[in-house]
Amino acid sequence: MIISISHLSKHYTIYKKNPGFLGTIQSFLTRKYEKVKAVEDISFSINEGELVGFIGPNGAGKTTTLKCLSGLLYPTQGKASVLGYDPYQRKSLFLKQISLVMGQKNQLWWDLPVIESVALNKEIYGVSEGDYSKTLLELTELLEIGNLLNVQAKKLSLGQRMKCELMSALIHKPKVLFLDEPTIGLDVLMQKKLREFIKEYNKRYNATIMLTSHYMRDVQALCKRVIIINHGRLLYDGQLLELIKKHAPYKLIKVIFKELVDPKKVENLGQIMRFVYPELVLRVPHSKMGKIVTKVLEEFPVEDLTIEDPDIEYVIREVFSKNIK
C-alpha cells in the first residue's frame, strides 16, 4: 500500500483570552488554555493508483491529516507511512515523489511569468532537462495553458492560476498527490475542466491521489471510494455507491406530464418532493421503484420519465448529522 495511517491523532493547545481591555489585563496574570483535537485516532490505507475522496465539514481535520501525510505537521500520536517513508523525516527522496496542492495557497511567484516558477521547481526537484521538456509539454496540453506560460501570475484569473499551480506542482511527476480544495472558488466550467485533468492525470501516471472538496460533484465525478471524517474522527471508509445505498435507500423518479394531472391522484405513488406542473418528482424506495414506474406509465399521460440517484450532498449531510458509519 502507498499510504497508511494507524491511530493518528493531532492535538493543539490554544490560548483563550476574554474580550476587551479587562481581558487583556487578566491575561497578563493568568492564562487559560484549551486542547483542540483536530484529528483523533483515525486509521486507513490507500493502494497505488487509487483516487480517494477525503471529505468532511469545515474543521473536520482534513487539511491537518494531509499536512501530517506530507510531513508538514508532526502527529501527537500514531503512525503514518507514505511510499514506505516516515513523512515527518522529510527526506529528499520522499519529497521528490509527493505534492501537496492547496486551493487557497499560492505557490507561483506573484510577479514572475508562470514558466519561471515552473523552471524553479524543476531545479528544486532535480528534474532532468529531458524529463522537464516532456512533462512540461504533456501538462501544458492536458491543462490547455500554452498561452499562459509567459504571463505574470498576478495577471491570471483564478481558474487560470489554479491550472498553472497544478502544472508547477506536478512538473516532477509525483507518485502521490494531495489535493486540498483544488476547485474552490472556480466557476462550474472551470471545475469541470480541472476534474477532467485530475482524472486523466490519475489514469496516465497511475498516481495515488487524495482529494478533499466541499463540492460533492468533484467527489462524485472522480472517486469510487470515500473517507469521511467529522470532528477529527473517522465516520466512513468505503465505496461511495455503498454509502448512497445505505443512507439513501431510494430513487428519485422525475415525471413530465403531457396534460394537467389531479394532485390527489399522485399522492399515493410515493413521497412527493416537488409537483409543479408539468414536473413531478417522487422519492420512492428501491423495492417499490419498478411497481411505481409501471403504474405511472399506465395511469397517467407521461411525456418523459427519468430515474435518478439521490443528491450526494444530501447523503453526506445525513452522515454528518447522525455521525454514523
Sheet of 302-308: strand order equals: 271-276, 279-285, 250-257, 302-308
pLDDT in tens, 56-110: 888 889 999 999 999 999 999 999 999 999 999 999 999 999 999 987 777 889 8
Please give the backbone phi and psi of residue 49, each rounded to the nearest 5 degrees, phi first.
Answer: 85, -5
Residue 266 confidence (pLDDT): 86
CATH 3.40.50.300 domain span(s) along the chain? 3-244
pLDDT in tens, 96-146: 999 999 877 778 898 999 999 999 999 999 999 999 999 999 999 988 898
- Cα torsion 254, 256, 261, 267 to 10°: value is 0
* Run of H or E residues at 137: helix 129-143
Residue 184 confidence (pLDDT): 81
pLDDT in tens, 202-245: 999 999 999 998 888 888 889 999 999 988 999 999 998 888 87
> 110: burial class by Cβ within 10 Å (0-12, 13-18, 19+)?
exposed
Sequence-distant (≥ 6) Cβ neighbours of residue 108 within 8 angstroms: 114, 117, 153, 161, 164, 165, 168
249-308 to CATH, choices 3.30.70.20, 3.40.50.300, 3.90.1150.10, 3.30.70.980: 3.30.70.980
CATH 3.30.70.980 domain span(s) along the chain? 249-308
Q: How far apart are CA 230 and CA 236, in angstroms?
A: 10
Which cell numbers hold the place of 302?
Answer: 407521461
Superfamily of domain 3-244, CATH level 4: P-loop containing nucleotide triphosphate hydrolases (3.40.50.300)
Q: How far apart are CA 183 and CA 212, in angstroms?
A: 10
